[in-house]
Structure 1
Amino acid sequence: MQNSDLRQLMQEAAKDAVTYSQQEHQIQLDNSIESLQQVDTILAKLHQQQLIKAHSAEVLFTISNIFGAYIGEAFITNVGGSWANNETNSDAPFIYIQLADKEFPFASVCYHKLTHDNSISVYDYVMQAMTNALQ
């Protein structure tokens, strides 16, 4: 996949996260770093629902990826970086933000918050990523 195609795909996925947040949770996301606290709220609610009745693998994949895209776009806007695609393992490719020599797999963080550990904060993760990226 070409970098321009990947960037367009991720920008569209980020827009899907904004639409989903507004329609399903009545939360307005504005591409700011502060809005990631709202993403934490949405993912925490979805995590609680997951405990009651498991979401399908497709729903988990979609939610993780659209919010990973949203977080990534906010990160690019506020810090820098670009989208990259790791296809080293053809069974488990993943998309991440590349900034200098650092990689930030935001969709993976969302997935772990949804499925394993609700105490994970994507806002805190991004704040730490910003600190690491600027070192």
Structure 2
Amino acid sequence: MSETADPPSLLSRPLIPVASEDDARETCRAAFPRIAAEGGRPVVVHVVEKAGGAPDKASVEQREAAAEDAFAVVREAAADAGVDVETEIRYGTDVAATIIDAATDVDASAIVFHPRDGSWLLDLLTGNVRDRLVSESDRPVVVLPDVEAEQ
């Protein structure tokens, strides 16, 4: 009888999308203690959404600066949690597809996120990235609860 290795943990190499400094703060607070406990190494991605021919809402430089601000929060939270983290900016016209492609490229064990507060109208208007991640990803998607909700 051959021994089979345990499958990797969902948190061994998670891809974590963040949209802003506040989102990064909340997501890291929920994710990094769990990832540290599993000995995982996350890849945090920020998607700069391109308008696909239409004028962009903000310049690429402004969006890259916002991504770097979010990554500063990520790096600080990672240092506090004792987690090695990689960060990456991705560009795309479809945020969900760009996140899924990034997960494939880094061979992520899962896509891990903390849902942001939002209304059903905002979800409808943005194409509901959360639902698309769950329904279209070829790997597990982990939705983390609020840290306060667990206590």
TM bucket, shorter chain: 0.3 to 0.5
More strand per residue: 2
With structure 2 as the length reference, what TM-score do the two structures score? 0.31
With structure 1 as the length reference, what TM-score do the two structures score? 0.34
Which protein has the larger Cα radius of gyration, Structure 1 or Structure 2? 2
